[in-house]
Amino acid sequence: MDDRSENHDIEVEGGNYAYERKISGILDDGSVGFQQPLLARNRKNTTSQIAIVGANTCPIESLDYEYFQAFFAFAGCNLILATAAASLCAFIAPAAAGSGIPEVKAYLNGIDAYSILAPSTLFVKIFGSIFGVAAGFVVGKEGPMVHTGACIANLLGQGGSRKYKLTWKWLRFFKNDRDRRDLITCGAAAGVAAAFRAPVGGVLFALEEAASWWRSALLWRTFFTTAVVAVVLRSLIELCRSGRCGLFGKGGLIMFDVNSGPVLYSTPDLLAVVFLGVVGGVLGSLYNYLVDKVLRTYALINERGPGFKVMLVMAVSILSSCCAFGLPWLSPCTPCPVGTEGKCPSVGRAGIYKSFQCPPNHYNDLSSLLLNTNDDAIRSLFTSRSENEFQISTLAIFFFFVYFLGIITYGIAIPSGLFIPVILAGASYGRLVGRLLGPVSQLDVGLFSLLGAASFLGGTMRMTVSLCVILLELTNNLLMLPLVMLVLLISKTVADCFNKGVYDQIVTMKGLPYMEDHAEPYMRNLVAKDVVAGPLLSFSRVEKVGVIWQALKMTSHNGFPVIDEPPFTEASELCGIALRSHLLVLLQGKRFSKQKTTFGSQILRSCKARDFAKAGLGKGLKIEDLVISGEEMEMYVDLHPITNTSPYTVLETLSLAKAAILFRQLGLRHLCVVPKTPGVSLSLPSFVFLCRDLFTFISRVFVSQRPPIVGILTRHDFMPEHVLGLYPHIDPLK
């Protein structure tokens, strides 16, 4: 697979000149005519079809004079692209900023926020990500691709877009919560599969990180999705093999093919790997901590308005450009390794030996990392071509550059993935450790680099199996599997001692009410009744239209208990739950009656199932859309046809921890809390023989008659803020 050697086809002397002329905007065909055909015909580009998104599109490497002119061209290009990305993000879809994985994760946990997966978010995510990565930021495209996949799935899930005339009839099968959620899980898996060309990794990512509810059918559906992604990718690669697709024709399914023969290791090697994992875990959790702090700081700037957002992006862009162009001066020139004379320094986009300011037959190793696509930088770090290709000082500088610039870049208003910065930082850290531990360990520096990337990924994202498989599929080296597993486990364990995974942190920071899959310890000391909030608003089975309208108007509740009352039943009992969206449809249909009688069967006959199908996010009816006359307000409507008569219930005395687990495991939105002793609490012996006390008794009956439902628990009732707000004396750590 190593055809990197083929792209140093432009001679050094001529190449520089051609590039320089190109940058200064004057392509004088007459004067450079003898070189131009070379440039046009022979120049091969090994950049993979996706990696082009990560290319710094200003090819000004190997300039060694007119430095400032080149710098301004470079920084200017970057700034324009960055401003374009930021403007899209700030003015059209603020939800498209950032990685998108936390948002997808929150959506799959049941947080139904409209903007997360809206079509505008999709548009901005795609183009913002292209501009952002092209602008030379230390950002990845993997997170945005996951978000993109989820957005496309959502668009399909709500039956296409009626606005843009993109609807299909069969998509109606997804008009319910569960299938839509499954589809979006598949979309996220497809995103990972496409981003890393890792179909199995995509399935595992969806399982381990994205999805909150998993079932065996889903495993097989995501697997199908990623299999299709793999086959399509593979077919496109085959189709483009002849080069007719330009930059998209190159590369294979395996992005960093770094096969380096059998991996052997001894005890000192294992100790080195353990050390790598421990330090990687610490640095990973520090990364999370700093990202959190930076995000909180940026939130203060960003909330001032879109203009400030764009300015912040521009500032970071200029800083990035300065670093990328300024730092290589710190690195001394290295003589070209033996055997590469004709090809070093290289000029092609994906060349590894960049000349920068160096004399002929020397290269600047730091510029090879900085002024290259992220993918090629990772590939360079992962290879074991020559141990001394990168100097220790170069690796240290590059590590600090990527580590800190990655942190301050995440959170600005552009779509920005975290995978690439973390892999880059980890790979340079790993290679650095490999060089330093060279006398102790026999392991290859390329392998150290891979293990460093694994330790950083484990330390920040805290995934295990999915990262392992993604790294496996990225690098095509099964033999290093035990070491990768070991490093991932160590770094995750170490990092878990300090803080949460980066995506969980972002979800928390954004204030999204994420339901964890375990109950908090303090919940064991509370019962369900303790946290049911507010006065209960319930409807009778046959309810006055005005009452319903008023309730919908005054509250934002999404579910209302419906109670069967005399004369329809002997005593009042719980009938079920009616959803706001269904109540709105019922009111809009104006299926009212003047008498307070049950007429549910008529309603059933006049309704169609698709009226009650779940609308697209943010699309459904609103109470403001309804026009109901004063006369109609006095009429009655039978709620029975739209009532879920079989809601999940818990007794009021159930432990809150158990209620939380039930709520989470079954993926509920409403959980009815019913009294332990509804009806009447009679103390019979005290009244039976005292007929004169009958009145007292009756009054007690009425007093002690409790409604058949205590309240409805929703997601927010389980949030620590709510519970600890109600019971401030509880120690949340106990």
Beta strands 539-540 and 559-564, pairing class: parallel
End-to-end CA distance of the chain: 56
620-630 in b/e form (b: 16+ CB < 10 A) is ebebeeeebee
Which of 2, 6, 238, 625 contacts a second copy by CB under 8 A?
Answer: 238
> Cβ closer to a second copy: 341 or 517?
517
CB of 35 to a second copy, least distance (A): 34
Which of 571, 618, 631, 634 contacts a second copy by CB under 8 A?
Answer: 571
CB 456 within 8 A of CB 422: yes
Q: Does 2 bind a second copy (CB under 8 A)?
A: no
Cis amide linkage into residue 647, ω under 30° from 0: no
Q: Does 315 bind a second copy (CB under 8 A)?
A: no
Return d(Cα 354, Cα 370) in angstroms, integer: 10
CA 533 to the chain's CA centroid: 32
Q: Does 271 bind a second copy (CB under 8 A)?
A: no
Q: What angle do CA 429, 431, 433 make, to 5 degrees?
A: 70
Query: In the structure encoding, which two tokens stand for residue 568, read together?
Result: 């329809």
| Window contacting a second copy (CB under 8 A); options: 32-40, 137-145, 366-374, 563-571 | 563-571
> Cβ closer to a second copy: 91 or 213?
213
Question: Hey, CA dihedral for 245, 142, 233, 165, is it positive or negative?
Answer: negative
The residues that bridge with 334 in the sheet, in sequence order, are 363
> Cβ closer to a second copy: 223 or 636?
223
> Cβ closer to a second copy: 616 or 647?
647
CA 440 to the chain's CA centroid: 40
Q: Does 179 bind a second copy (CB under 8 A)?
A: no
Which of 553, 645, 696, 716 contacts a second copy by CB under 8 A?
Answer: 645
CB atoms within 10 A of CB 344: 22
Q: Does 329 bind a second copy (CB under 8 A)?
A: no
Q: Does 473 bind a second copy (CB under 8 A)?
A: yes
Map the footprint of a second copy across residues 501-520, applying CB under 8 A: 517-518
CB of 1 to a second copy, least distance (A): 9
| Window contacting a second copy (CB under 8 A); options: 58-66, 86-94, 315-323, 651-659 | 651-659
Q: Does 330 bind a second copy (CB under 8 A)?
A: no
CB 614 within 8 A of CB 175: yes
Q: Does 306 bind a second copy (CB under 8 A)?
A: no
Which of 143, 149, 199, 281 contacts a second copy by CB under 8 A?
Answer: 199
| Residue type (1 letter), 221 | R
Give how far Cα 426 sits from Cα of 26, 389, 400, 448, Å: 41, 18, 11, 10
Q: Does 573 bind a second copy (CB under 8 A)?
A: yes
Return d(Cα 41, Cα 572) in angstroms, integer: 85
Return d(Cα 210, Cα 617) in angstroms, integer: 19
> Cβ closer to a second copy: 629 or 677?
677
Q: Does 82 bind a second copy (CB under 8 A)?
A: no
CB of 527 to a second copy, least distance (A): 8
Torsion angle defined by CA atoms of residues 338, 343, 345 and 348, in that order, rounded to the nearest 10 degrees: -150
Q: Does 693 bind a second copy (CB under 8 A)?
A: no
Which of 364, 409, 464, 540 contacts a second copy by CB under 8 A?
Answer: 464
Instruction: Decide: residue 216, CB within 10 A, 0-12 exposed, 13-18 middle, 19+ buried.
Output: exposed
Map the footprint of a second copy across residues 662-691, applying CB under 8 A: 662, 665-666, 674, 676-685, 688, 691
Q: Does 253 bind a second copy (CB under 8 A)?
A: yes
Q: Does 245 bind a second copy (CB under 8 A)?
A: no
Q: Does 219 bind a second copy (CB under 8 A)?
A: yes
Which of 661, 719, 724, 730 contacts a second copy by CB under 8 A?
Answer: 661
Return d(Cα 309, Cα 91) in angstroms, integer: 10
Which of 90, 195, 203, 424 contacts a second copy by CB under 8 A?
Answer: 203
Q: Does 223 bind a second copy (CB under 8 A)?
A: yes
| Window contacting a second copy (CB under 8 A); options: 122-130, 170-178, 565-573, 614-622 | 565-573
CB 53 within 8 A of CB 251: no
